C-alpha cells in the first residue's frame, strides 16, 4: 500500500517535471523593456526600409528623429524587409551600416530596435540578422524570429510570418530563400501558432500587440495574406488582441474590424512606395490608406492607446485613440 502510494507520487512527479520541460521548451523568448515612470510607453514603427538611404529612406529617418524626440520614444519597432533586395549576405555585410547605422542617426533613434524578418530578409542570410554579432556592431539591434517584449501594461508579440506563405516554398520565382531552422514548414508553423497562443493566453498585460511582416488585412499591393487569415487571425481573435501591426505593403494603412477588438495597422512606408494599386475596399472598417512613405507612432498608457501616422514631412495624416478603464469596485456610503 505505502509502496504503491510512493511510486504513484514518483510517477506524478516525473509527469509534472516532463510537463514543465515540454512547456518551457514551447515558450517564446521573453524580453523586458521598462516603461516610463508613469507606466506609459511610446514607440515608432517603420517597415520595408533598407535601401542605402534611397527612395526617401533618409527623409523618413530624419522625421522619425524629429517625432521621436518630441514624443520621447522608448524604442523603435521594425515590421521587416530590413535590407533590400536580398537581406544581408552575412554578419559583416556593409549594408548593415549603409542602410541602418548610418541612416537612423538622430539622437532619439538611438534606442533599441525590435525587428522581425520579412520575405526579402529570408532571401539573404536570414541567420545573420538574428545573430548576436549584429548587436555588437550596433547595440540597438534586437532581432529574433518570434519573441515577446513585455513592458508592464503591454505585451508585444513578434511573429515570424514569412514561413506561413506557401508560394515562397513552391514558386520561388528564381529567388532562393534561407529556410535553415524553418523546415519542415508545417511543423514550424503549428509550433509557432501554439507558442503565440500560449504567450497571449498567459499575458496579463492590459494591451496586447502582435507584430508580423505580412498583412492580415490590407487593400495595398499584396492585399490580405490568406494563410494568416486562416491560421493566425483566429488565434489573435481568441485572445482579444488590440493591434496587429505589419509591413509588406509599402504604404500606411488602418483597417478596423467590426467583429473583433483588433485594429489592423500597416507601417511599410520606410522607403520605396507609390505602387498605385489600391484594391477597393470601402467598408466601414477602412479608416485610412496612404500609398506613400512615412511611419507610425504608438503611445500607450495604462488606460489609453493612441496611434498616429506621419508622412515624410512629419505631418500627421491620421490619428486614432481608444481607452480601457480599469475595473473598480466602488463602495458607496450613503
Ligand X SMILES: *[C@@H]1O[C@H](CO)[C@@H](O)[C@H](O)[C@H]1NC(C)=O
CA triple 234-258-290, angle to 5 deg: 95
- The nearer residue to ligand X, 142 or 308, going by C-beta atoms, is 308
Q: Does residue 55 belong to the site contacting ligand X (CB under 6 A)?
A: yes
**Of 123, 136, 126, 151, which is closest to residue 38 (Cα–Cα)?**
151
- Pick between residue 232 and residue 308 the one whose CB is nearest to ligand X: 308
- Residue 223 touching ligand X (CB under 6 A): no
39 vs 137 by CB, closer to ligand X: 39
Is the Cα dihedral 283, 264, 322, 241 positive or negative?
A: positive
Taking the complex as a whole, how short is the minimal distance between the CB of residue 318 and ligand X, in angstroms?
Answer: 8
Indicate if 222 belongs to the active site: yes
Size of the residue set binding ligand X (CB under 6 A): 11
Enumerate the known binding-site residues for Fe cation. 48, 81, 84, 119, 213, 248, 250
**Cross-strand bridge partners of residue 210:** 157, 244
Count CB atoms within 10 A of the CB of residue 121: 28
CB of 192 to ligand X, least distance (A): 34
Map residue 286 onto helix, strand or coil: strand
Which residues contribute to the annotated binding site? 48, 81, 84, 119, 213, 248, 250
Nearest distance from residue 134's CB to ligand X, in Å?
28
Give least dist CB 249 to ligand X, A. Answer: 15
- State CA 316 to chain mean position distance: 22
Among residues 120, 214, 222, 254, the one annotated as catalytic is 222
Task: Give residues 259-318 in contact with ligand X (rule: CB under 6 A).
Answer: 274, 292-293, 306, 311-312
Q: At 126, give phi and psi (nearest 5°).
A: -65, -35
For 319, residues 6+ apart whose C-beta sits below 8 A from its C-beta are 306, 307, 308, 309
Question: Between 138 and 285, whose beta carbon lies closer to ligand X?
Answer: 285
113: Cβ–Cβ under 8 A, 6 or more apart, which residues? 75, 76, 77, 78, 104, 140, 141, 142
By CB under 6 A, tell whether 40 contacts ligand X.
Answer: no
Instruction: Tell which positions 307-326 bind ligand X, by CB under 6 A.
Output: 311-312, 319-321
Q: Are 48 and 269 in contact (CB under 8 A)?
A: yes
Residues numbered 242-261 forming contacts with ligand X, rule: CB under 6 A: none
Q: Which is nearest to 320 in space by CA: 259, 268, 263?
A: 263
Q: Spell out the residues 6+ positions from residue 73 whose beta carbon is closer than 8 angstroms to its own.
A: 42, 43, 44, 108, 111, 297
Q: Least distance to ligand X from the beta carbon of 176, Å?
A: 28
Q: Which position among 28, 41, 43, 56 is part of the footprint of ligand X (CB under 6 A)?
A: 56
Q: CB-wise, 26 or 54, nearer to ligand X?
A: 54
Catalytic positions: 222
What residues line the site for ligand X (CB under 6 A)? 55-56, 274, 292-293, 306, 311-312, 319-321
Amino acid at each position: 500500500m505505502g509502496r504503491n502510494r510512493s511510486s504513484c507520487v514518483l510517477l506524478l512527479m516525473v509527469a509534472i517535471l516532463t510537463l514543465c520541460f515540454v512547456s518551457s521548451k514551447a515558450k517564446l523568448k521573453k524580453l523586458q523593456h521598462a516603461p516610463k515612470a508613469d507606466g506609459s510607453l511610446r514607440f515608432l514603427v517603420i517597415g520595408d526600409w533598407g535601401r542605402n538611404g534611397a527612395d526617401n529612406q533618409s527623409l523618413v529617418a530624419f522625421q522619425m528623429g524629429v517625432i521621436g524626440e518630441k514624443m520621447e520614444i522608448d524604442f523603435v519597432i521594425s515590421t521587416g524587409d530590413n535590407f533590400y533586395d536580398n537581406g544581408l549576405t552575412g554578419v559583416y555585410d556593409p549594408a548593415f551600416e549603409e542602410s541602418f547605422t548610418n541612416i537612423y542617426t538622430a539622437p532619439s533613434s538611438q534606442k533599441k530596435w525590435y525587428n522581425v524578418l520579412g520575405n526579402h530578409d529570408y532571401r539573404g542570410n536570414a541567420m545573420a540578422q538574428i545573430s548576436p554579432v549584429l548587436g555588437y556592431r550596433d547595440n540597438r539591434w534586437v532581432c529574433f524570429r518570434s519573441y515577446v517584449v513585455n513592458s508592464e501594461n503591454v505585451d508585444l508579440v513578434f511573429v515570424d510570418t514569412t514561413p506561413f506563405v506557401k508560394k515562397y516554398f513552391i514558386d520561388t520565382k528564381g529567388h532562393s530563400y534561407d529556410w535553415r531552422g524553418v523546415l519542415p514548414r508545417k511543423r514550424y508553423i503549428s509550433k509557432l501558432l501554439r507558442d503565440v497562443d500560449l504567450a497571449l493566453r498567459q499575458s496579463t498585460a492590459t494591451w496586447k500587440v502582435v507584430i508580423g511582416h505580412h498583412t492580415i488585412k490590407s487593400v495595398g499591393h499584396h492585399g490580405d495574406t490568406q494563410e494568416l487569415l486562416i491560421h493566425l487571425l483566429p488565434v489573435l481573435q481568441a485572445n482579444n488582441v488590440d493591434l496587429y501591426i505589419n509591413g509588406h505593403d509599402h504604404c500606411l494603412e488602418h483597417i478596423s474590424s467590426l467583429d473583433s477588438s483588433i485594429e489592423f495597422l500597416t507601417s511599410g512606408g520606410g522607403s520605396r512606395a507609390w505602387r498605385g494599386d489600391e484594391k477597393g475596399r470601402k467598408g466601414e472598417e477602412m479608416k485610412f490608406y496612404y500609398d506613400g512613405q512615412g511611419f507610425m507612432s504608438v503611445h500607450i498608457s495604462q488606460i489609453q492607446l493612441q496611434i498616429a501616422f506621419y508622412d515624410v514631412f512629419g505631418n500627421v495624416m491620421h490619428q486614432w485613440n481608444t481607452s480601457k478603464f480599469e475595473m473598480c469596485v466602488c463602495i458607496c456610503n450613503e
